[in-house]
Amino acid sequence: MNRIVHPIEQESFRRLRARLDTSHFPPLTRAVVERVIHSAADLEYASDLVMDEGDLERGRAALHAGAPVVVDVEMVAAGITRRETVCRLGEAVSGPGLTRSAHAVRLAHEQVGPGALWVIGCAPTALEELLALDASPALVIGLPVGFVGAAESKAALRESGLPAVSNVSEKGGSAVAAAALNALLYHPVSAEETS
């Protein structure tokens, strides 16, 4: 099923490309960079995002093969289109040394096991908990936002060696995390990939 792109979105991407040359990025990296910038109207993401094209290719393949998508908060889930997600925050509880977000990650990991795509756009503690688990993710989109722990949790993600999309600064959030996953959902699938 082809996605119909609204004229406003087409014009937005035209203006983005008029202000920023993204042609030097590999295809999926370009798709993620452009969609994240589009979601935040923030051109600085072009130099702030960190990702590997091979990781994106493998993550996209897992996504299109039906791998579960786990999100840290419902706001991320609301931004992901054309795909069901798992969010266990509503059932999670905090405790000594454990935030609700971290507990939700534990619950989701118990549910989905290895090979999932994890999209974290709100809570640094969710990303920290994911890194503490032996989750074997297909891809981690780790873009939590905030002044406490966000940049540090994303640095830890990059140091972990897990396949990931992250950024260096404290910026992030639900909209940009969802946008990064949507870029992989929307990118055209070739005939070779479906055969």
- String of DSSP letters for 40-72: HT-TTHHHHEEE-HHHHHHHHHHHHTT--EEES
Catalytic residues: 38
Q: What pLDDT is attached to residue 72?
A: 96
pLDDT < 70 regions, the chain: 1-3, 189-195
pLDDT digits (tens, 9 = 90+) for 37-55: 999 999 999 999 999 999 9
The structural domains of the chain, ordered by start, are 7-186 (3.40.50.10230)
Q: What pLDDT is attached to residue 187?
A: 85
Q: What pLDDT is attached to residue 15?
A: 84
pTM of the model: 0.92
